[in-house]
A and B are shown apart, each in its own frame.
Chain A
Amino acid sequence: MDPRITIHNITDYNSLLSIVYSELESISRRKPQQSVDTQNPLLKCCEALFQAGAITIMAQHKVLDPDFLAEYSSYYSKQFNEVSRYCTRLHFFKESKATELTQLEYIDSTPPEHYLGFITLRPVITSPVGATILSSEVVTGFIRSADKFPVHIMGRELSVFGTPFMQQDNAVGACAQASIWMALRTLRKREGDRAHDPAQITDAATRYNANGRIKPNRQGLTQIQMMEAIRSAGYSPHSIWLGQWHNQSLDAMDPADVQTAKRTIHPYIESEIPVVLLLIHKIGGHAVVAVGHTWNADTTEFQTVEVSNSASLDLRLVHASSWIPDFIINNDNSGPYMPFPSSSGGGTGYSMEQMVYALPLLPADVFMSGEEALSIGLTVVSDIYEGFATAADKEALELSASDIAIRVLLVEKRKLRTWAATTTMPKELQDELRTMHLPKRVWILELHLKAVYGAHDKENIVPSLVAFALIDPTGDTVANSILMFYLNKNYPLDIIEVGTFLQFQDGLVKSGTQTTDNTPLEPIRGRTP
Chain B
Amino acid sequence: MSNLGLFVLEVAKSESKTVPMPEDKAQEIRNNLSNQISTKIEEIRNEQRRAVEESLNITVF
Give the secondary structure class of A's interface. mixed
Q: A246-B56, A508-B27 are in contact. Are A502 and B4 (CB under 8 A)?
A: yes
- Within 8 Å by CB of B8, from A223, A244, A496, lies A496
Contacts of A451 in B (CB 8 A): none
Interface residues on B, range: 35 or more
The answer on a CB contact under 8 Å between B56 and A247 is yes
The answer on a CB contact under 8 Å between B8 and A487 is yes
Q: Determine if A151 is an interface residue (Cβ-Cβ < 8 Å).
A: no
The answer on a CB contact under 8 Å between B6 and A509 is no
The answer on a CB contact under 8 Å between A387 and B4 is yes
Contacts of A508 in B (CB 8 A): 21, 23, 26-27, 29-30
The answer on a CB contact under 8 Å between A514 and B18 is yes
The answer on a CB contact under 8 Å between A510 and B26 is yes
**Count of A residues near B, CB < 8 Å?**
69
Q: Determine if A162 is an interface residue (Cβ-Cβ < 8 Å).
A: no
Q: A478-B41, A509-B21 are in contact. Are A514 and B12 (CB under 8 A)?
A: yes
Scoring A residues 472 to 485 as 1 if CB is less than 8 Å from chain B, else 0, what string do you get? 00000111101001
Interface centre among B1, B14, B38, B58 (most CB of A within 10 A): B58
CA A511 to CA B17, docked complex, whole Å = 10
The answer on a CB contact under 8 Å between B61 and A509 is no
- Within 8 Å by CB of A512, from B8, B37, B59, lies B8
Q: A244-B54, A246-B56 are in contact. Are A479 and B5 (CB under 8 A)?
A: no
- Within 8 Å by CB of B1, from A222, A387, A478, A498, lies A387
The answer on a CB contact under 8 Å between A221 and B11 is no
Q: Which of A57-65, A91-99, A370-378, A452-460 contacts the other chain? A: A370-378
- Within 8 Å by CB of B59, from A221, A376, A382, lies A221
Scoring B residues 1 to 25 as 1 if CB is less than 8 Å from chain A, else 0, what string do you get? 1111111111110100111110101
Q: Identify the closest chain B residue to A283 (Cβ).
A: B61
* Sample (13) of A-B pairs whose CB atoms are under 8 Å apart: A211-B59, A240-B48, A241-B54, A243-B58, A244-B54, A279-B60, A285-B58, A356-B58, A379-B36, A382-B36, A510-B21, A512-B7, A512-B11
The 10 closest A-B pairs by CB, nearest first: A387-B5, A220-B61, A479-B34, A512-B11, A285-B60, A241-B51, A387-B6, A496-B12, A508-B26, A384-B5
Question: Which A residues lie at the B interface, using CB under 8 A?
Answer: 174-176, 211, 218-224, 226, 239-241, 243-244, 246-247, 278-280, 284-287, 310-311, 356-357, 369, 371-372, 375-376, 379-380, 382-391, 428, 477-480, 482, 485, 487, 495-498, 500, 502, 507-514
- A387-B1, A387-B5 known; 20 new pairs, CB 8 Å cut-off, are A175-B61, A221-B60, A222-B60, A241-B55, A247-B56, A278-B58, A285-B58, A285-B60, A376-B41, A379-B36, A379-B37, A379-B40, A382-B36, A479-B30, A498-B12, A502-B4, A508-B30, A509-B7, A509-B25, A513-B18
